[in-house]
Amino acid sequence: MFDIKPIPPPERVVLAAVHLPDVPDALFEEDMAEMAMLCNTARAEVVATIIQKRDSPDASTFIGAGKLTEIKEHLKNGECTTLVIDAELSPGQVRNIEKRTEAKVVDRSQLILDIFAAHARSVESKVQVELAQLRMMYPRLTRAWSHLSKQYGGIGTRGPGETQLEVDRRLVQNKISELRDKLKKIEKSRDIQRKGRKSMMNIALVGYTNVGKSSLLNALSGADVLVENKLFATLDTASRKVWLPATGEVIFTDTVGFLRKLPHQLVASFRSTLEVARESDLLCIVLDASSLWSGEQFKTVEQVLTELEATQAPRMIVFNKIDLVEDPFERKRLSLMFPNSVQVSAFVKEDVASFKAAVSERLDEISKEREREALIREETKRAMETW
């Protein structure tokens, strides 16, 4: 007989956030909707959403004392043991909020890391997620033992607290070093694979999470990359050969999605996976045409690409999900906002064919530009030799 384990019920949580004056109301609502979707992706049921308007976050608890009392009541009435906060909290803030609410506190970074851990499938993505978790744990671990650490010098102050802190620090540091070494070996293997594909042009699909990059790759190549209406449904890069008119075989690569306020630990740990963006011949920045905040999505993508030092690669803006935009004036607005962009639906064959033709044309321009640059370099070299 098969031992079928029952799926545990969703964890009941209260979602809280601070609305600061410099954040527009509509963008704040979009952020909260995104947080609710992140909770749903992490298999959590949002029982209540608490919002506090403040000029600035509270230094010790992020949220004001009065609002924390209200949150504590919501946690009790909703039979919740977890409070999710839309912010990156310091270890001290987490500890203070937990004391006030008597509940487990999960900040935005922890929530995203939890989703990444649940969705990691390949050895590489599992190593990357674990490395990011340890990088986040280390400063929190340091402060967790602060009440037992040495406060004063002299006899009687070298207690077990400091010993335990040092042991835990060393264990985490050793594990981080071990994972880094493991990741370097995986990177070497990936480099060898890339060198074997150097004869072909490489196109990277980059963009905000849940904009349909995997659907687009499937439509282009007939692949079967996982597609779900969830944030971070796929974490591993997927490369597929695609035949383009007037170009021939090229390689399209789907990358992990970006997100506003993405934890720095994740960007650092997934740098090797996202390296494909920096080394690609063409970056296709995929945006959600149906989103009111496609401009904000683009800014997020630009920010992450800057962190990856991938701003020099030629690029093309691709508005996916255009079938969800019925208003012709809205379509026109998008084309004016991003001139030379392409509007497609991954589920419309004609759109996919037009996208392939546009990519082929762009690659032809890139090839000609490289030939011109090579010719100029050669002519300059000859001129210098005869000078």
Enumerate long-range contacts of 160-168, CB under 8 Å, 24 or more apart. Answer: 165/141, 168/141
The yes-or-no verdict on residue 311 having pLDDT over 60 is yes
- Dump pLDDT digits (tens) for 272-284: 556 677 778 999 9
Residue range 172-180: mean pLDDT, rounded: 81
The percent of residues above 90 in pLDDT, for the chain, comes to: 34
Q: Where are the domains of the chain?
A: 11-115, 124-183, 199-377
- What the block records as the tokens of 313 is 């690669």
Mean pLDDT of the chain: 81
**Higher local confidence (pLDDT), 240 or 71:** 71
Q: 227 versus 110: which is more confidently predicted?
A: 110
**For residue 52, pLDDT beyond 70:** yes
Give the residue-averaged pLDDT of 226-242. Answer: 65
Instruction: Determine the average pLDDT of the residues in 361-382.
Output: 86
pLDDT band at residue 19 under the 50/70/90 scheme: very high
For residue 111 the two structure tokens come to 């929530």
Q: What pLDDT shows up at residue 227?
A: 53
Which two three-digit tokens encode residue 226?
Answer: 């996982």
Rounded-to-integer distance, Cα 73 and Cα 75, Å: 5
Q: What is the pLDDT of residue 12?
A: 92
The confidence band for 155, taking pLDDT boundaries of 50, 70 and 90, is very low
Distances (CA, A) of 1 to 4, 8, 38: 9, 21, 36
Q: What is the mean pLDDT of residues 242-271?
A: 78
Dihedral pair phi/psi, residue 202, rounded to 5°? -110, 130
For the segment 49-64, the average pLDDT, to the nearest whole number, is 94
What is the pLDDT confidence band of residue 147, given thresholds at 50, 70 and 90?
very low
pLDDT score recorded for residue 325: 94
Assign domain 11-115 to a CATH class.
alpha beta
Most confident of 208-212, 222-226, 308-312, 345-349: 345-349
pLDDT attached to residue 259: 78
Is-same-fold flag (11-115; 199-377)?
yes
Longest distance between any two alpha carbons in the chain, whole Å: 85
Q: Is a pLDDT exceeding 90 seen at residue 164?
A: no
Question: Residue 21's pLDDT is what?
Answer: 94
pLDDT exceeds cutoff 90 at 370: no
Q: Is residue 247 pLDDT above 80, yes or no?
A: yes
Q: Which residue intervals of 10-122 are DSSP H helices?
A: 25-41, 65-77, 91-101, 108-119
Binned at pLDDT 50, 70 and 90, residue 129 comes out as confident
When the candidates are 3.40.50.2300, 1.10.10.410, 3.40.50.300, 3.40.50.720, the CATH number that belongs to 199-377 is 3.40.50.300
* Predicted confidence band of residue 264 (pLDDT cuts 50, 70, 90): low
Q: CB–CB of 318/344 below 8 Å?
A: yes
Taking the CA atoms of residue 28, residue 31, residue 32 and residue 33 in that order, the dihedral angle to the nearest 10 degrees is 120
pTM score of the predicted model:
0.73
- The pLDDT value recorded for residue 380 is 81
